[in-house]
Structures are given as C-alpha cells and as structure tokens.
A and B are shown apart, each in its own frame.
Chain A
Amino acid sequence: MTAQADEPSARDGPATNSSVPLISLRNIQKSFGSVHALRGASVDVHAGEIVALVGDNGAGKSTLVKVMAGVHAADSGEYEIEGRPAIVRTPSDATKHGIATVYQDLALCNNLDAVQNLFLGRELTGSRLFGGRIRRAECEVRAREVMSRMRLSNLSLSRPVGAMSGGQRQNIAIARSVLWKPKVVILDEPTAALSHSAAQQVADLIRSLADDGLGVVVVSHDIHHFVVNSTDRIEVMRLGANAASFRSKDVTGEMVVNAMVGGNEGVNLAG
C-alpha cells in the first residue's frame, strides 16, 4: 500500500518548494539477475526539503539512491530533473545534472587535508606546460568561502582529515558535495557511527543545505532521532516499492518502523 503526501512541507525554515520537483523518479524497476531490487519505486525531491528514505535491509532504498546518483542505471521508469526527462546512467551524468552524493564511507583520503579532499579530482590547475601545477591559493579561497557559508570556518583546512573527528570528517564530506553548487544532495547514512552531539551538528548542517534551497535525500536507519526529528518527509520502502509516505512532523518513530516491517498503523498519515 502506498500513500503520498499531497505536497511536501519543510519542517521549518524558508523552504523554497515549487510544484515542480527538482528530481522525480517514477515507477523505477531494477533487477540484478533474478533479484528484483526495485519494483516500481518512486520519489520526488523538491527544493528546500529533506526527504528520508527508510526501509529494512533489502527494501531497495540503497538501490533507489544509487539509481538517483547514476551508480546503477534503471531498467525502466522515468527520471525527470526539474520537470524534464533526463538520462542519468553514470555518476558523471548525475554530477552534470547537479546531483551530488555523500557516501556512507565518506570517500575521503585521510592523508590529504580538507582543501585537497574538497577539490579531489577537480583541482584548479595552471598550464599543462608546468605539469598541471595545482593553484592551491585559489582552491583554498573557494574552500574557505564554502566553509564559511556552511558556518564551518573553524575547521582546519590544512590538517589531514584522518586526524579529524568523525563529525568533522562528515562535515568535510558534505562541504565537498556542495562545493560545485549542486541542486540535490544525496547522503547515505550521514549520522551512522557518530556521537549524539556530532550527529546533531551534522543534522543541523543538513538542514542548512535545505534552507539554502537544495533538495536533500537522506538514507538513514536512525529512525527515532534523525529521521523523525530532522527531515521533512519520510518515504518508507518495502520489497522494492514505496510502502508509505509521511510528513515527519506527523509521525513517531514507532509508526515509521511499523510501516517498514509491514504493519498498517500510520500508513495513511501523509496528506
């Protein structure tokens, strides 16, 4: 059973939702051999909202996110970006369309500093005549701008990120995702393995992204704290399809969990 919210609503802050979602995936099918991972899954992400994708292991949320991020190409279904059909079959396709992903393992190089991690793979360089010399000063200025915009100015830009705390590393990974001004940021388990206070800081940082008008998709198992308290809409997935959709402010963790495992309670709360 699937229930959809009539319109997404930001929990608080200046949500800039419009009727046209930033990205919209409809009726996505994806199989891996005989395993039918997605059976017509759908999700919309509007500007200024945080959408949580939740579900039990094997529910299809990670596959749906990977389709969104271009890691997997969908077998069938519609992928629209700002109302227009889009082809997103590789991570670089997603990047070109303004979709950034923060993976659970953060994909940081511990031996590099924050600036080097932020720009990894996209360094500003000088002439090829000099072997592609990195324009460190320009990179650093842009890194400072982004960190300042995200109120992370106190983070050291020159320490190896391996010497930083889990929360600081998560912040660096999020800062990297917004460096190139994406429209949508996908975060996979952003609060996993963080202390309560560090998780709250990361949650606040994610809220600031939505406040800036970005669409945010979060995959999380932290139902009772992060998902219920820090997101705007919850899409519950079960067996590769949407099982329920809630406005976060209207539900409790128990109701979400109930929907995840197949109970009926709370399924129609959205809208």
Chain B
Amino acid sequence: MVSIPASAAPKRRTFGELLGSDLRALPVVIGLVVLWIFFVVQSDVFLTPRNLSNLLLQSTVVGIMALGLMFVLLVREIDLSIAAIHGVTAVVSAKLIVEYGVSPLLALPLSVILGAAVGSVSARWVNWIGVPSFVVTLGLGLALNGIQLLLLPATARFGLMGTGVELIAQTTIDGIYAWLAWAIGIAFLALLILSSVRRRRRVGLEVSVIHSVVLPLVVSALIGAVAVVVLNANQGIPLPVLIFAVLLGLGGYVLNETQFGLYLYAIGNNAEAARRAGIKVPRIRTAAFAIAGGVAAIAGIIASSRTLGVGVFSGGGVGGGTLLLESIAAAVIGGVSLFGGRGAIHAALLGALVIGTVQNGLNLMGVKNEVRLIVTGLLLVLAVSIDKIIEKLTGQQAY
C-alpha cells in the first residue's frame, strides 16, 4: 500500500487557481463595471431604467445566439451557420404565416425544429465525412443565405405587423407579475440547491451552508431583484428578456447538472478519452449542433418580432454580418474557449452585456457605428489576452 506525500495533500486553492475556475468570470465582471462607470460619466441617460431596459433588450438576441453557440464551442467545434439559420428559419416561419396563413403558434415552433434539424445536419456531416465544422458550417451558412433570398418575395420583406408575432417583443411583464417571475426563478434555484444539499447530507458528506446555499441564493436573488426593480421602473420585464433568462436557467441546469452537460465538457477537452469511456461522441456532438441551431431560430423569432418583419437583413444579412461575429465574440468575451471544454452559462449573458453596453453607451455618446465595431473588436482581443495573461502569471491553465 502507498501513501502519497504531504505535498499532495488537499490545500486551500490559491487565488490563481480560483481565477482559473470559480472566479473565471471576475475579469469580465470587472471589465463590465469599468465600462458602465465610463458610460455613466459620459452620459446622464445611461443609468436610467428606460435605457437599462433597452440595453437588456438589445443584448437579448446576441446573448441567445451566444448561448446556443456555447454548446458547440464546448465540444471543440464551431458553427458559422447560426446567423444564417437564424435568418432562414425566421423567413420560413414568416412565409408560412404571411403567405400560407399558418398560425404563429404552429409556425414558430416549426422554425425552431427546423433550426435544430439544420444544425444536426452540419454535425452529421462533420461526424460521417470528417470535414471540419468550420468548413461545413461556412458552406452551409452561405447556402442558407441563398435559400433565404429565394424564399423572400419580390419586395424582399415579409411584414409581420398584425400577425401576432410582434407581440413577443411588445409584451412586458410588470408589477407584481414581474416579482412573481423572479420568485419562481429563485424557487427553482433553491429547489436545485437544497436537493443537492439534502443528497450530500444523506450520504454523510460535509456541506458548507454559507458557500453552497446562502451565497448562491442571496447573490442570485439580489441580482434578480435589482433587475426587476429597474425594469419595473420602466415598463416591466420585456418578454424577450424573460425568454433569455429562462434559456439561461435551462442551459445552466443542463451544463452543470446533467450527464449530457458533463459529456460536452469531456469531449471538448479529450474526445478520445470520452470515446474510450463509452460516451457516444458523435451523438453528443450532433445534439450540441442541434441545440445551437434551435436556439438560433429562437433568436430569429425574437429579432423578427422586434423588427416587425423579416428580409434580406435577417440573420445579419449575407455572410452573417455583425450578428455572427458578435455572437462568437460574446461567447468568447464571456469566457467560452474556442478550443473546447471551457465556459460557464453566464458567459453568454456577460459577453452579450459587454457588447450591448458598448453599443448602447457609444450610441448615447453619439459615436459612429464604425467606432463601435472597432471598440467591440478590441474588447474581444483584450478579453482573450487577459485570459492568457492570467494563465501565465498564475501558472494555472483555466478550465
């Protein structure tokens, strides 16, 4: 029998180790706070409930896209067709509603299923033929752009005003109902945490009530409460923001709690090890692409509702435009690794908030759109650079 040396004994994790794991989001949060302070100083309007509500709403589409893309990035793949899926599924559902009189209640879920199906086609191509996802999804995206143009009428636009789709963007949940939504969210989180605590206690494991129960619940409740207060001071919680929040909750559950979520991380880090462990790697990869496609379609629905129609511009236009680039940038700025196996669900929110803040703040300052693109691009490079610097300084690779 063997005993390992004292140096291997468990010890309190260093700040460097924490930065590489639990506190991975800290630099992004600090960056976001710095941006907010800057814009508060520059504009009196920035911190008003109306503007903050707008900022959240503006961040929703990119945030949802980044959330879906995360699943693909986690398995060390990339999907460059998500913006095209976003556009073509929105056009398909609009065509069904406007030209064929299909109810939005049927057309919109169909578009999500279509998005998931298109995503899984990319994955199957990657799995079977072995072509890199970068190439497959680039080609597929261009093909979908062509299909999108073919589906559009001569006017190059389907108006959705009066179809009911516009209600998604216009609906807000205010007053007591907003607080009810907050309470439901916190109750689900509490249930999840308490069931974990109960299980640990049942099998005789230690539980730190402060770290495992009080801290996550209080922090989540406080952040949620501040958001509700601010949004209620304007018009309440916009439905797209609520949809984003629900998707974040669902995504967090899947990634942190389920076998599927664990396999995404495992495959992203060492696909061969995952395969040898009996994990059906192609199947998990396909599911990740399907989720990204389906979620991109949801973002497409919200975007078409906000713009009251679909057209050539849907999905960022041909090539995905800034929508594709901002979705990738949001995920990466939030802390998702392009090399797989790393990234938490809050990355989509934080990344989208950073990009949304830059867009919103610079708009308020009257800065031109070109400058906004420059700033966003530089922030992306800065975020990844900070990540690398932390790794070098602490000697800890972030996981």
Contact = CB atoms under 8 A, between A and B. Distances in A.
Interface of A: 91-92, 103, 105-112, 116, 120-123, 125, 130-138, 140-141, 150-152, 154-156, 159-160, 162-163, 165, 167-168, 171, 197, 201, 204-205, 207-208, 211
A154 B278 contact: no
Contacts, number: 132
A121 B276 CA distance: 9
B273 A109 contact: yes
A151 B396 CA distance: 27
B270 A137 contact: no
B259 interface: yes
A109 B10 CA distance: 20
B199 A110 contact: no
Contact of B203 (A132, A141, A154, A197): A141
A135 B198 CA distance: 11
Given A151-B2, A165-B8, A171-B4, A120 B274 contact: yes
28 contacts: A109-B265, A109-B274, A110-B270, A110-B341, A110-B399, A112-B262, A120-B273, A122-B277, A123-B262, A131-B253, A131-B254, A134-B258, A134-B262, A136-B196, A151-B2, A151-B3, A151-B4, A154-B10, A160-B21, A160-B399, A162-B399, A163-B17, A163-B397, A168-B4, A168-B8, A197-B5, A207-B2, A211-B1
Given A103-B276, A131-B257, A131-B258, A111 B342 contact: yes
Contacts of A165: 8
Contacts of B51: none
Interface residues of B, number: 44
A121 B270 CA distance: 13
A163 B391 CA distance: 12
Given A163-B396, A201-B2, A121 B277 contact: yes
A242 to B, nearest CB: 28
Given A110-B270, A137-B200, A151 B277 contact: no
Given A105-B273, A109-B270, A110-B399, 13 more contacts: A108-B273, A110-B397, A111-B268, A111-B399, A116-B266, A120-B277, A134-B258, A136-B196, A137-B202, A137-B205, A160-B21, A163-B17, A163-B397
A249 B396 CA distance: 43
Contact of B260 (A105, A132, A211): A132
Contacts of A155: 4, 8, 10
Interface of B: 1-6, 8-10, 13, 17, 20-21, 196, 199-200, 202-205, 253-254, 257-260, 262, 265-266, 268-270, 272-274, 276-279, 341-342, 396-397, 399
Nearest to A71: B276
Given A137-B199, A151-B1, A154-B8, A108 B258 contact: no
